[in-house]
Amino acid sequence: MARTAFIAFAGFFVGSVVTASIAYTAREDLPNLVEPAPPLPALKPSTVLALPLRPEELSDDGHMVAEHVVTPETSIRVPAPDVQVPMEKPQRQIAAAGFVPTGPLFRPRLPARVSTPAPVPVDKTLNREPDHDHATDAHVPAANEPLARLRERLAAIAPTVPADEIEPETPAAGVDTPETQAGAVPAWKRYAAITPPTMGRPLIAVVLDDIGLSQFRADRVIALPAPITVSILPYGNNAARVAVQAREAGHEIMVHLPMEPMNLASNNPGPNALLTSQDRAEIERRIDINLSRFDGYVGVNNHMGSRFTASEKSLTYVMAKLKDRGLLFLDSVTSERSVAFRVAGQLGVPATRRDIFIDSKNDSRFIRRQLQRAEDIARKRGAVVAIGHPYPATLSALREWLPSLSARGFVLVPISAITAMRLAG
């Protein structure tokens, strides 16, 4: 009996060894069954691929509006490199040949659990930046750092208010202290970028709107050869990171607050936009949401808003909130009917107005002519506020124009400097 059991066990053992050997041989020989496949390309973190906009796809408000937005339901999403499932070489080659590998031979080795940020939901009519370079675009936002860590980095940036404007007990950076508190420096001065000596020369402030939807575009804005004012959309996936990077590069930052345009059906200003149909509580709630996305800003300007900025009642609620936070307001003047600047002045909110749009036509020659007009206005009035957008043509023109301003007798300043100058009369 024992001998029979031993013989059976020996037979089972020999059979197992032979089977394993055959399987291993098959695994080693498998690559010879198909042509070698090239290595899989490195995949970017999850992104939505969008069609480029044409120059004529601009709203009446001077902002970018996409008719052909790729929504989450129709978008193509690819996994990040650290979450893709690695394949063994035979599995990769068979997959390249069009076969679906199954069975224990092709069981993947799963990586450690990682977390990636959920993208902000994109409405089908949501206004977004054109993606002219998406084929070679490296603009996919990296995974967001925790907001607390970003705030720590903001706090580490020294206040850029001139020394003679800082009171002895300056509140810590990253905390929006109301201007009404005793001894507090208002946020629009506390977070102001450095203003160079003006010596009576005409001042130029360049404000670039619609920043934050594309990290690719934001990087190019931040890399401009002179400090400007960067107005960041609060619903951008990477708004907090862009705010830190912009301030570290010496730029002044603002919140590009979404407001109701004249034709809301075709021009969507984005999530948590301020609408004239909302009551005071809802407008204040949405302001708090938009202003909580990042820190270190001097104020806000309107994103779209041709209808909202014509409503004195709705603007009263907005200006009261900005006054409590010690923020300034820049009226983008997207409509001749705007009363935002007047309402801000009545409620004691530091404010100024846009003088010229430099890229209402996305055309290189037009943009350069507008920059020349900005110089003419600055010479005539002593200062000019020029608003643009992160179009490739705009950025190219600014890279050439900004470094030459000083030699031609102008001073490039942040928006807070022109606001202060105009308040002083």
Weakly modelled stretches of the chain, pLDDT under 70:
1-183
Q: What is the pTM of this model?
A: 0.63
Q: What is the pLDDT of residue 184?
A: 86
107-123 tens-digit pLDDT: 333 334 434 344 444 44
Domain 147-424: assigned CATH number: 3.20.20.370
Burial class (CB in 10 A: 0-12, 13-18, 19+), 20: exposed
Give me the pLDDT at residue 58, please. Answer: 46
What's the confidence (pLDDT) of residue 237? Answer: 85
pLDDT of residue 2: 57
CA distance 414 to 384: 11
* Sign of the CA dihedral with 364 first, then 368, 369, and 374 last: positive
Q: How far apart are CA 79 and CA 358, in angstroms?
A: 38
Predicted local distance difference test score (pLDDT) of residue 50: 34
Q: Any idea where the domains of the chain sit in the sequence?
A: 2-106, 147-424
Q: Are 206 and 230 in contact (CB under 8 A)?
A: no
CA torsion, ordered 262, 333, 359, 274, to nearest 10 deg: -50
- Between CA 167 and CA 201 the distance in angstroms is 28
* CA 164/CA 176 separation, integer angstroms: 21
What pLDDT was estimated at residue 271? 96
pLDDT digits (tens, 9 = 90+) for 97-111: 333 333 433 333 333
Q: How many whole angstroms separate alpha carbon 162 and alpha carbon 166?
A: 7
Which tokens go with 375? 């110089």
Select from 358, 274, 354 the least CA-distant residue to 316. Answer: 274
Amino acid residing at 234: P
212 DSSP 8-state letter: T
Q: What confidence score (pLDDT) does residue 87 get?
A: 40
pLDDT of residue 57: 39
